[in-house]
Structures are given as structure tokens and as C-alpha cells.
Structure 1
Amino acid sequence: MDVQSSRVVPDGGYGWIVVAAVALINMTNQSILSVFGQLFVGELQKMQEDTFTAALITNLNSLALNFSGLFIGPAIKSFKPRNVAATGCILVALGLALCAFASESWHFILGYSFFVGFGLGLISPSTFMAINSYFTTKRGRAVGVSLAGAGLGQVLIPHLVRYLLDNHGFRYAVLSMSSLSLFGLFGAAFLKPLNPPAKHNNRKHIRLLTEADGEKTSPLQVVIVPTNQSKIERSPPNVDTLCSRMGQRLVQAMDLELLKDLVFWSIIVGMALVYTATINFTMIFPGFLGQTAQLNSQMVAFCMSLVAGADIVFRLLLPIVTDHLRIPYRVVFLIGIVGLFVARCVLAENQTLPVIITMSVLTGMMKSATVINNNLTISAHCRSEKLAGGLGLSMMSKGVIVITVGQLLGWVRDYADSYLICLYAQGVILLVVVLVWTPEILYRHRRQRCATNKSMETQSIDAAEVAKLNS
């Protein structure tokens, strides 16, 4: 039975306080990723480190962020979203504090890549779980408002970092960012669970590893052996070994049963491919504007601001429309993928300024559709008691795809020495997701519609028979 169905969901109320708290957490923590170059590249250059080192630090950060999904499901079930989110904020603050006193590149790898990456990986799914329990029909707009906090931070924090670097230096600026991330603890304090969660204590799994399922130990056990049974004939040994029981507990703790579902595989792999293409586009877009489109630095900044501005605005507006029309989250995500595919193809074919401005706005709009509906798509597919594990598995798939497909896209850009070829490569990835998802969604929609029509026909026949009997 779905746990969520047995609870009264307010679809608002205190939930909006939770949304505001999550927006604060996102603004003071998630937006840290956007100022990595501004904060650390100058210091790395003073250490005579090259671009490879900076790329290694960011890639390891993404790796730690996504592979924290290995632990996020059991962590949320055992320690509740509020405690997990607070732990993430503390790890981010600790990692930045370590970076403030860094004297070698491996200090940045330890502080920023692992501590900050792992902390951010704990924050994202735990805050979504907190919001998810308070909303049903307004869930999309609640998630949109909370993610708009991260967008607002990406607009404001770079100016704060620039002021701190210019007036107080590197160490003071990084320590200030570390202190700022601790404001997330204030937001985490408001992530009160809606109802006591279903009993699920993963810490008991360790004690149960040496016990067979359904087996209860007692201080006194009496064994009756028939007299006509030889001493050599004994009951066969229990083949349920420690390793098999450990595997069963691991499957339960991480909700690995979800991997038996091919649709779930399609969802997480498709979203991971879109996530990777988005990261790669964000990385090459400034170079494309400056070198291929021949725009000056002022126009490059303007176009990038258009993308960020459209993203923030539509994070607030798009969920209102989609929730009102009751469009499924995965369909909205698919529309976003199609829009991103169109924008990349148009940019690759036409580099005139009006087209670039238009496609920059379209990219921001469609990016918001994918960002907002990422976790929502998983929540619509998974039962509430499996949601934490589903989010963790989705994060792990992103980590694997970023390492493999992301590196492949970088190799395509370097080998072809062309931003246009890289845009086309991203378009191919997005098109593959569209071609795989579209038939499946249409088939499921048609099957659901046929089931609904059949149910209505059955109800009408039953009503006619009742009316005949009454007459």
C-alpha cells in the first residue's frame, strides 16, 4: 500500500514554510557551484596549476555529488530529511573552510570535490522529500519556488564574491561563503515531517544480518529427535548464508527492486543523458558565443544572463500552468527535451544576433522544465516508500553518464575543434531520449485511456441493471 495514500496531505499550509526553508537552503548552498571559477581559478593559477586541475576538481565534485545517491536512500529512511539536509549544509561549510586554508591542489580536491560535493548530494533529495510530503496538486509550483531560490543565489552571490575578493582577499571570501552555507541550518530546522514516517530502521539490518528472515531466537530451544532416526541423519544445513542475507538487506535498504522495472531504467537513464547534455552546453556556450558567433564579451554576458533569467522566471510560472492543466510531469520533461533539441539545432545552423537571443531565452525556458520535473518524474513513478531509493539511483545514473558520455562530448569538441559539431552531438543525445520516451508515453497513455473507458462502460452497464431491477 502506498504510504502517502494513508495520510492527509494539506497541499499547502505549513508546506509553504517548508518551501521557503528549502529555497533558503538552495540559495546559500546549491548556488556555490556557480562561483567555483570566480572563487578558485585565480588561486589555482597562483599555485601554477593548469586548466586540467580545475577540470579535475569540478569533475570529482560532480562525481561525489551524484554517487552520494548510494547512501541517500538509507540515510533518509533512518535519519529523516531534516537531519540529512542539515548534515549536508555542515559538510558544505566544512569543505569550503578547508579550501580557505588550501596551499596545494589536493586540498581543493579534498575540500571542494569531496566534502562540498557529498554535502550538496545530501541536500537535494532530502529537501525534495520534505516538500513532496506536503503537496499533491500544487507539488510542481512548490518545487519551482524552492528551485528559484538556487537561481536567485546564482544571480546575487557572484556579486558578493566579487566584492569580497576585491576588498578582503581569497581566504576571507571563501570563509564568508562557508559561513553563508551555514544559514542552511536555519532552513533545515523548519523541515518538519508531515506525519511520523513508516517504521523503517536500516540500523536494525546490521543486527539482522546473522538471522534468517522469519527466524526468532529464544533462550531455550527444544529439539525432538525420533528414536528410529539414526544419528547420521540430520536436518540439512541452512543454505541462507551470511552473504545472501546481507545482499537481501542491501536490496531492501537501497530499494534496488526498482531496477527490475524497465520503465524506471528508461526514466533515470534518459534524465541522466539530458543532465549531461545540459552540463556540457553550459560549459561550451560562452566559447560558442565568443569564437563561433564572434560576439564581444559584453554580448556574451548578456546572452548568458538571458538564459539564467528565463530559467528563474519559468521556474516560477511554468508549474502554475502545468499544475492547472494537470499535465504529467514526465510529459512536461519531454517537452523541455524537445525545446532544448530545437534550440541547439537552430544555434548550430544560424548565428545571427536575433536568433541567438531568441534561442537563449528558449534554452532557459526549456531548461527550467527539465530541472523542475526531474525529481517530480521519479516521484510520480515510484511509491512514496520507494521514493528515497529512486532518487538515489537516479543520482548514481547521472554520475555514471557524466563520467562516460560527458567525457565523450568533451573529446568530440576537442577532436573536431568545433563548437557546432559539439552542439549537434548534444542534439543527437537529446533526440535519442525523445525517440525512446515518446512511443512509451503514448502507449501507456493509450492503455490507461482504454482502461478508463472500459471502467466507465462497466459502471454504466451496472447502473442500467440496477435501474432495471428497481423498476
Structure 2
Amino acid sequence: MNSKSNGNCKSLGKDFQFEEHKIYKDPNFDINSLPWYKRHLYRVVGLLGLDIFLNLRYVNILIGLSLVVLVEMNFVVLLPFLLFEYSFTISEIAAFLSVLGAADIVFRFLPPHVGDCLKKPARVMIILVLGVIIAARLALIYISHYPTILIIALILGCSKGMRVVYMSLIIPSYVPEQHLASALVIQIVLNSLMSLLGGYAIGITRTTTGSYVYCVILLEFLTALTIVMWSADILIKKCSRKKSKPSNVSTARAEEVY
């Protein structure tokens, strides 16, 4: 099973291999020698593909994606209330949301071309896009000039369109084919759990502070946390690669680092 897994990983061209549980590495291991509850536990783990959690890089990616989904869902809900809190009229709020939605749709067609020009992996592109999103949302808090607000709506829509496209590419880019189905299911489940916990935390923040501004600041903190987690993972990967293969660093594939 390990040779097949490694073969599939190499065929994907990624330096990202999942370590199977230690019991599968021993050819003389007999699962029937375990107590009955451990036998069932290992079978459930194998059936659901939960051994994917043995790879810490996947866990890092999974948590980051769930945080991004949590932030986006709650920001979309809070945005009209935030604008109304700033005394914008209903027609102005509707125009803002229309500009944001139109830019989102248009820019979903551009990420492949942008990626070809910059030649960066999906996760690096999302880190860059998240940085733009944080800056635009924080600017939205402090700016009340309506024409400028519409420009911010355009920036948010463009970055949202690119983020949606690249997010769908991250897990298939890092997870071997035989683990892809379980990885996607686990991501959906974690997104739901994050939404429950995050929505509760944002509700408490709104009740305590009496303003939607602090809710947005909390959401941007979670977005910044994702950037820090992923950037740290990339830097650690680069440093470990330099120590292990100093002569081949310049010729290493981008996918092997990012």
C-alpha cells in the first residue's frame, strides 16, 4: 500500500507524502492481534481516511481554509449592517453590494492568467490575496467617503473572485489522489464546526461591544492568523530544504516548497 501511495504522490509531482500509521509499516503486523475495540478503531480510521491527519502540513492547510471560509461567510452577513451603522442609505448599500458582486463574477475568470504570469502556487496566491482583503476591509472601517467606498467594493470583489478560485485548488494540489475524497469531506465538516463556533464568538463580540466594527476586526485577526500559519509553514519548508539539499535549492520545484 505504501509503494502505491508513494507512486501516486510522485505522479502528482509534489514533495508531499502522507505517512501511513506505523502499524501498516510492519509487514508482520496482524491487526487481529489487537483488542476488539482497537481493531474496529483502526478499520474506521482506514475507511474514513482519518490517517490523513498524520501529516501536519495538511492539518495546517485545513485549519487555514476553514478560517478563511468562516471569515468570508460572516463578513458577507455583517457587511450590510456595518454600512447601515455608518449611516449609508439603502440605495447606497445596494450599489456597494452590486459593485462587489459584479467584480467578484468578472474576476473569477482571471486567476488562471494571473497565476501563469506570476508563476506562483495556489497557496501563495491566496496569501497575497488575503493581504489585499485585510487592507481593504480595514480601510472600509475608517473611510466614510462614498466614492472611495465604491472603490473598496471593487477591490473586495476582485480579491474575492480570485480567492474563491484558488481555494478550490489548494487541497487537490497538496493531497495525493487516494486521499482526496476524505480530505475534501473532512474540510466540509470542519467548515461547519468552525461556522458554529465562530458565529457564536462574533455574536458575543457584537453584544459586548455594541458595534459591528469590532466584529470585522476580529474577522481580520483570523485572516491574519491564516497568513501567519501558512507563511510559517512555507518558511520552515524552505529552511529544512536548504539544510538537507543545499546544492539543489535553486533547482527545486515551487510545489515542493509551497
Q: By the TM > 0.5 criterion, same fold?
A: yes
Distance 1:456 1:285 in 2: 45
Indicate how the Cα distance of structure 1 residues 413 and 327 shifts in structure 2: closer, same or farther if over 3 A, else same.
same
Distance 1:456 1:306 in 2: 44
Counterpart selection for 1:422 from 215, 222, 231: 215
1:261-280 to 2 correspondence within 5 Å?
A: 261-280=55-74
Does 1:372 find its partner at 2:165? yes
Counterpart selection for 2:90 from 269, 277, 297: 297
User: Residue in 2 aligned with 1:288?
Assistant: 82
User: Residue in 2 aligned with 1:94?
Assistant: none
Query: In structure 2, the residue corresponding to 1:316 is in which secondary structure?
Result: coil
Distance 2:33 2:10 in 1: 39
Q: Say if 2:138 and 2:217, in contact at 8 Å, map to a contact too.
A: yes
Counterpart selection for 1:329 from 122, 133, 145: 122
Write the deviation string for residues 164-211 of structure 1: whole angstroms up to 9, x where unpaired: xxxxxxxxxxxxxxxxxxxxxxxxxxxxxxxxxxxxxxxxxxxxxxxx
Q: How far did residue 347 of structure 1 move?
A: 0.9
Write the deviation string for residues 53-111 of structure 1: whole angstroms up to 9, x where unpaired: xxxxxxxxxxxxxxxxxxxxxxxxxxxxxxxxxxxxxxxxxxxxxxxxxxxxxxxxxxx
Counterpart selection for 2:44 from 250, 254, 279: 250
Query: In structure 2, the residue corresponding to 1:431 is in which secondary structure?
Result: helix
User: Residue in 1 aligned with 2:8?
Assistant: 3
Distance 1:298 1:428 in 2: 30
Distance 1:371 1:263 in 2: 21
Distance 2:51 2:187 in 1: 14
Indicate how the Cα distance of structure 1 residues 2 and 333 shifts in structure 2: closer, same or farther if over 3 A, else same.
farther
Q: How far did residue 384 of structure 1 move?
A: 1.2
Q: Could you tell me which amino acid in structure 1 is paired with residue 67 of structure 2?
A: L
Q: Say if 1:311 and 1:365, in contact at 8 Å, map to a contact too.
A: yes
Number of aligned residue pairs: 231
Q: Say if 1:266 and 1:437, in contact at 8 Å, map to a contact too.
A: yes
Q: Say if 1:272 and 1:401, in contact at 8 Å, map to a contact too.
A: yes
User: Residue in 2 aligned with 1:200?
Assistant: none
Q: How far did residue 281 of structure 1 move?
A: 0.7
Distance 2:157 2:250 in 1: 45
- Structure 2, unaligned runs of 5 or more: 1-5, 14-28, 252-258
TM-score by length of structure 1 reads: 0.45
Counterpart selection for 1:434 from 218, 227, 240: 227
User: Residue in 1 aligned with 2:111?
Assistant: 318
Q: Say if 1:271 and 1:374, in contact at 8 Å, map to a contact too.
A: yes
Between the aligned residues of both structures, percent identity stands at 23
Distance 2:214 2:139 in 1: 13
Distance 2:176 2:117 in 1: 23
Distance 2:208 2:47 in 1: 43
User: Residue in 2 aligned with 1:353?
Assistant: 146
Q: How far did residue 402 of structure 1 move?
A: 0.8
Query: In structure 1, the residue corresponding to 2:169 is in which secondary structure?
Result: helix
Q: Could you tell me which amino acid in structure 1 is paired with residue 137 of structure 2?
A: R
Q: Could you tell me which amino acid in structure 1 is paired with residue 8 of structure 2?
A: V
- Please report the RMSD computed on the Cα atoms of aligned residues, expressed in angstroms: 2.6
Counterpart selection for 1:399 from 192, 203, 207: 192
Q: Say if 1:2 and 1:383, in contact at 8 Å, map to a contact too.
A: no
Distance 1:384 1:361 in 2: 37
